[in-house]
Amino acid sequence: MNRSESPSFGHAQMVEVQCGKEVRIIKPCNLYGCSIGDHSFIGPFVEIQSKASIGKNSRIQSHCFVCSLVEIGDSCFVGHGVTFVNDLFKDGKPSKDERDWLPTKIGNEVSIGSGSTILPVKICDGCVVGAGSVVVRDLTVRGVYAGNPAKLIREI
């Protein structure tokens, strides 16, 4: 680089966010094109992309990233620094075609421990994911899961 040019800047903000009743949001955050149900809470330093939806009475804690096509149910707890994924890089790189992105569906009363990474999966109602886990498969049995990759520790 011989000389420095001026970059263009955007700012973390809220754009076209559909909120239910009594939603509480801590700024700075970067939320766009998503929906957030009644009485849910969004902590600081969170990004939620378009076509993601959060149910009612759920908490998305600080530092989370919720990508497009993630659907989170009611009364869920998503811990601090939890990251969702919708692109498996199947052609060896990110796909720019949204049709290649995969959905994630988190049921109701699911608790996801802080620092976890969630690939495109379904997680059934009432599951608990331990902190620091990497979830790579559907969790179809109500239970406690942990590890990388996350495995069933015990049913509940």
* Binding interface with its own copies (CB under 8 A): 1, 4-12, 17-28, 30, 35-37, 43-45, 47, 59, 61-63, 65, 67, 77, 79-81, 83-85, 89, 92-94, 109, 111, 113-117, 119, 126, 128, 131-132, 134, 144, 147-149, 156
Name 54's Cβ contacts closer than 8 Å, sequence gap at least 6.
34, 35, 36, 37, 40, 42, 48, 60, 66, 72, 76
Q: Which is nearer to its own copies, 141 or 156 (CB)?
A: 156
- Provide the strand spans (E) within 40-139: 41-42, 46-48, 53-54, 59-60, 65-66, 70-72, 77-78, 83-84, 104-106, 111-112, 117-118, 122-123, 128-129, 134-135
- Rounded to a whole number of angstroms, the minimum distance from the CB of residue 108 to its own copies is 11
- Rounded to a whole number of angstroms, the minimum distance from the CB of residue 144 to its own copies is 7
CA 43 from chain centre, in angstroms, equals 13
- Rounded to a whole number of angstroms, the minimum distance from the CB of residue 127 to its own copies is 9
- Rounded to a whole number of angstroms, the minimum distance from the CB of residue 99 to its own copies is 18
Longest dimension (CA), the chain: 61
Q: Which is nearer to its own copies, 84 or 139 (CB)?
A: 84
Q: Which is nearer to its own copies, 30 or 50 (CB)?
A: 30
Q: Which is nearer to its own copies, 9 or 99 (CB)?
A: 9
